[in-house]
């Protein structure tokens, strides 16, 4: 397979994970998850982290002209953020050591913010992909994975896991 074919295949796989994540997040924000909200979010975040791991294990994506074409304004995700905040009210706030090698103090975060921050980065790359620019999509997804959404997805995964583990092991989380 040519380099272009390899990049296109990876872009298609990542785009599928991104669409699934965005659709799942929107459904949960609407309340479609019911009592399964936390387990569904754990699955969605885990799946999108798999896409991030694929990007992290891939050689650096380099754009030929070393610039990102404009895709226009990104969609407003405040409705999703608000819906998630409502669904996650009892567990939305958590504490995380964001970079275990550089940070020494825990910082407060919100699951709803982290989940939407990830979505925002992913949707930006998806817009490149849907405009038939898979290399730009991969570049953005990979760059933003290392720079932003990978940390937020990892932190959200740990928080969601803690909620589920606490419930399953009958340990009070809050």
Residue 174 forms part of a structural domain: no
Q: Is the pLDDT of residue 1 over 50?
A: no
- 71 assigned to some structural domain: yes
- Residue 120: inside a domain, yes or no? yes
- Which CATH number covers residue 147? 1.20.120.1550
Does residue 136 belong to any structural domain of this protein?
A: yes
Cα(135)–Cα(12) distance, integer angstroms = 11
| Beta-bridge partners for 148 | none
> Which tens digits make up the pLDDT trace of 69-123?
788 888 999 999 999 999 999 999 999 887 778 878 888 999 999 999 999 999 9
Task: With respect to residue 68, please indicate whether it lies within any of the assigned structural domains.
Answer: yes
Tell me the C-alpha distance between 95 and 18, whole Å: 26
**DSSP annotation of 34:** G
Tell me the residue range of the domain where 162 lies.
3-168
Digit-coded pLDDT (tens) for 9-44: 999 999 999 999 999 999 999 999 999 999 999 999
State the pTM of this model.
0.90
Distance (Å, rounded) from C-alpha 14 to C-alpha 57? 13
Rounded to whole angstroms, the Cα distance separating 7 from 30 reads 34
Q: How many domains does the chain have?
A: 1
- CA dist., res. 163 & res. 104, Å (int): 23
Is residue 173 in some structural domain? no
Residue 88 placed within a domain = yes
């Amino acid at each position: 397979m040519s380099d272009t074919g390899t990049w296109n295949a990876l872009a298609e796989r990542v785009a599928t994970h991104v669409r699934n994540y965005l659709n799942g997040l929107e459904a949960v924000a609407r309340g479609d998850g019911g009592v399964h909200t936390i387990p569904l979010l754990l699955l969605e975040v885990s799946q999108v982290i798999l896409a991030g791991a694929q990007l992290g294990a891939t050689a650096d994506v380099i754009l030929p002209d070393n610039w990102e074409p404009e895709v226009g304004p990104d969609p407003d995700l405040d409705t999703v953020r608000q819906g998630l905040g409502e669904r996650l009210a009892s567990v939305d706030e958590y504490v995380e050591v964001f970079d275990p090698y550089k940070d020494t103090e825990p910082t407060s975060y919100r699951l709803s913010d982290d989940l939407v921050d990830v979505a925002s980065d992913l949707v930006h790359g998806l817009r490149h992909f849907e405009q038939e620019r898979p290399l730009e999509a991969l570049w953005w997804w990979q760059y933003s994975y290392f720079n932003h959404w990978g940390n937020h997805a990892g932190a959200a995964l740990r928080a969601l896991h803690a909620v589920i583990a606490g419930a399953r092991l009958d340990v009070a989380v809050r």
